[in-house]
């Protein structure tokens, strides 16, 4: 058992317009965890985003993910000290829960000295999260396409186009995924489904080799406009950015607006501006037991 483990896990943006519940992109904004095992008891220290709102007991999402990861590996620890440095905003559509889950599972691998198995991490993370799009990008980095096969989360990773970056506009007010999903209709027209399928296919090419097609490829007809009542300012900003030729989308369930590329527009009052590169490796683990890195 390692005496201490450090984990770094990236923020992620899911959907990317037409790739609803399938596409994910990892960006260079990171949460960091440090876990030190002990004989018994639990202490949780949190700084940064969400520090005033998250629990400090066994219900903490990272703690639950560590326990689930240890169980999947056939291991356990009596207790541990957990220190979280949170930089990913909570409730903004940037994968904070996915980062907590993937980070906790990865920490379990580090604690037991087990080489990180990305396939198994994704499978368990999908079980805990309930859908694989964000967790896939957090596990693998880069651009991922995720799906569920017989209840099991799967993903492939593709290399984003060289030099691709993102610009994020993060509002001060959060939005829960449950609220955002509750606005989606039970069915959509064949025309809308067909249009999204074509744009999602085009987006794979645009993100990997043809970035000049990103504006067209990010058009969506399945979820963004339906969610407008919950985040009207976000949709108004997207329309403004797209009218200026920017490939603007809702990040995940929102309300963050993400531009695939560098945007010259400053953030509106009360919003934060993020400019990030694409994370290339996904979750990383450093163990004090052997001073090696798992990627």
On whether 96 is known to bind a ligand per the annotation, the reply is yes
Range 165-277 has CATH code 3.30.70.890 = yes
pLDDT tens string, the chain, 295 residues long: the values are 778 999 999 999 999 999 999 999 999 999 999 999 999 999 999 999 999 999 999 999 999 999 999 999 999 999 999 999 999 999 999 999 999 999 999 999 999 999 999 999 999 999 999 999 999 999 999 999 999 999 999 999 999 999 999 999 999 999 998 899 999 999 999 999 999 999 999 999 999 999 999 999 999 999 999 999 999 999 999 999 999 999 999 999 999 999 999 888 899 999 999 999 999 999 999 987 554 445 5
Nearest to 283 by CA among 16, 23, 33: 33
On whether 113 is known to bind a ligand per the annotation, the reply is no
On whether 98 is known to bind a ligand per the annotation, the reply is yes
- pLDDT on residue 201: 98
Class in CATH terms, 5-159+279-294:
alpha beta
Residues of the chain with CATH 3.30.230.10: 5-159+279-294
On whether 10 is known to bind a ligand per the annotation, the reply is no
On whether 89 is known to bind a ligand per the annotation, the reply is yes
On whether 239 is known to bind a ligand per the annotation, the reply is no
Residues of the chain with CATH 3.30.70.890: 165-277
Nearest to 73 by CA among 135, 115, 131, 128: 115
Nearest to 171 by CA among 257, 281, 69, 64: 257
pTM beyond 0.85, yes or no: yes
CA–CA gap between residue 128 and residue 159 (Å, rounded): 26
On whether 294 is known to bind a ligand per the annotation, the reply is no
C-alpha separations of 85 from 35, 47, 82, 111, 241 in Å? 12, 5, 10, 19, 32
- pLDDT on residue 292: 44
């Amino acid at each position: 058992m390692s005496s201490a483990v450090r984990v770094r896990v990236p923020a992620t943006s899911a959907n990317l317009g037409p790739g609803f519940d399938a596409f994910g992109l990892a960006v260079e904004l990171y949460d960091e965890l440090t876990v030190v095992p002990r004989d018994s008891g639990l202490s949780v220290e949190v700084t940064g985003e969400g520090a005033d709102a998250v629990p400090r007991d066994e219900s903490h999402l990272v703690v639950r993910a560590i326990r689930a990861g240890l169980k999947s590996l056939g291991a356990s620890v009596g207790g541990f000290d957990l220190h979280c440095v949170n930089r990913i905003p909570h409730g903004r559509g940037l994968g904070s829960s996915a980062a907590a889950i993937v980070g906790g599972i990865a920490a379990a691998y580090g604690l037991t000295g087990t080489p990180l198995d990305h396939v198994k991490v994704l499978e368990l993370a999908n079980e805990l999260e309930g859908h694989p799009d964000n967790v896939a990008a957090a596990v693998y980095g880069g651009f991922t396409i995720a799906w569920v096969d017989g209840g099991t989360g799967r993903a492939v990773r593709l290399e984003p186009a060289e030099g691709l970056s993102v610009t994020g506009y993060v509002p001060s007010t959060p939005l829960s995924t449950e609220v955002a999903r509750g606005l989606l209709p039970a069915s959509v027209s064949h025309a809308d489904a067909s249009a999204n399928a074509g744009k999602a296919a085009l987006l794979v090419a645009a993100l990997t080799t043809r970035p000049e097609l990103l504006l067209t490829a990010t058009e969506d007809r399945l979820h963004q406009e339906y969610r407008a009542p919950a985040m009207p300012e976000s949709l108004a900003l997207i329309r403004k950015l797209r009218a200026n030729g920017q490939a603007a989308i809702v990040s995940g369930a929102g309300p963050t607006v993400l531009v695939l590329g560098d945007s010259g527009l400053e953030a509106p009052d009360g919003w934060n501006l993020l400019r990030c590169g694409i994370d290339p490796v996904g979750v990383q683990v450093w163990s004090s037991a052997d001073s090696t890195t798992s990627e």
